[in-house]
Amino acid sequence: MTSRSRQVKKTKLQQAVLPFRQNGGRREGAGRKPKGDKAGVGHGPRALLAARFPTHVTMKLLQGLPKMRSREAYAALRTAFAAGCDRAGFRLTHYAVLNDHLHFLVEARDREALSRGLQGLAIRIAKALNRLWRRRGTVFADRYHDRILKTPREVRNALVYVLANGKKHAAEGREIQVPQAIDTFTSAPWFDGFREPLTVRGIEAIVRPVTDAHTWMLTIGWRRHGLLSVHELPATG
């Protein structure tokens, strides 16, 4: 056998012991790693959505943008909410504005209606804030995060979380102040599910930024676990 033949045979033997699957298919640890401002939200297929289930949605701003809890920014946001709160099977029923993120409770006919409704809402919000801040470009850090609420208890907990999230941050000293009984940077002034009687001065002069809920969960179901108190805060964890 010539030296060249021995070399070819040796090469073939070395190749034969290599792992069979070298390319293609799912591999642990493979793929682009999340990093920077857009990290944190998975990009897998979203769960199917039935019209009877409300959804809790969170949308986070890019790092470095101004805070949204200012009078001017909140006015711009309310205008965007009012324009996009009831469109093509999508309804925005409750919200909370924090410094760098938004919480929504929404209803949608199906997953497509939810996606289209939130996309339209996000575009309105981005345009309004960019106009106010005299900038151009992306406003949100990543695609929205959503959680489908499938029981009346989950809906009630989500209502507490959204309407009292700012108060919880304030109690923890996290750069937010809520000097009133309710957080007026939320839809709480338009909420009729508090145990305590409330009067919000000047509310009649503001265009309502949310629409009425239609699902049993958000109209009747959650109330079976008790009305909310203005003193109630979201559970930790």
Structural domain boundaries in the chain: 47-225
Is the Cβ–Cβ distance between 72 and 153 less than 8 Å? no
Amino acid at 37: D
Is the Cβ–Cβ distance between 177 and 54 less than 8 Å? no
Instruction: Give residue-wise pLDDT tens across range 68-110.
Output: 999 999 999 999 999 999 999 999 999 999 999 999 999 999 9
CATH H-level, domain 47-225: superfamily? Transposase IS200-like (3.30.70.1290)
Instruction: Give residue-wise pLDDT tens across range 8-21.
Output: 444 443 333 322 23
Confidence at residue 17, expressed as pLDDT on a 0 to 100 scale: 34
Is the Cβ–Cβ distance between 183 and 167 less than 8 Å? yes
Of the candidate ranges 55-69, 123-137, 171-185, the one whose mean pLDDT is the lowest = 171-185
Provide the 3-class DSSP secondary structure of residue 178: coil
Instruction: Give residue-wise pLDDT tens across range 183-233.
Output: 999 999 999 999 999 988 899 999 999 999 999 999 999 999 999 999 999
Confidence at residue 37, expressed as pLDDT on a 0 to 100 scale: 46
**Could you tell me the pLDDT band of residue 45, with boundaries at 50, 70 and 90?**
low
Strand partners, 92: 106
Phi, psi of 72 (to 5 degrees): -70, -45
Query: What's the mean pLDDT in 20-27?
Result: 39
More confident residue, 14 or 132: 132
| Cβ burial, residue 88 (10 Å; 0-12/13-18/19+) | exposed
Provide the 3-class DSSP secondary structure of residue 116: helix
Of the candidate ranges 5-14, 133-142, 150-159, 180-189, the one whose mean pLDDT is the lowest = 5-14
Alpha helices in the chain (DSSP H): 3-16, 71-84, 111-133, 152-171, 216-219
Give the C-alpha separation, 25 to 57, whole Å: 32
Query: Above pLDDT 70, what percent of the chain?
Result: 78
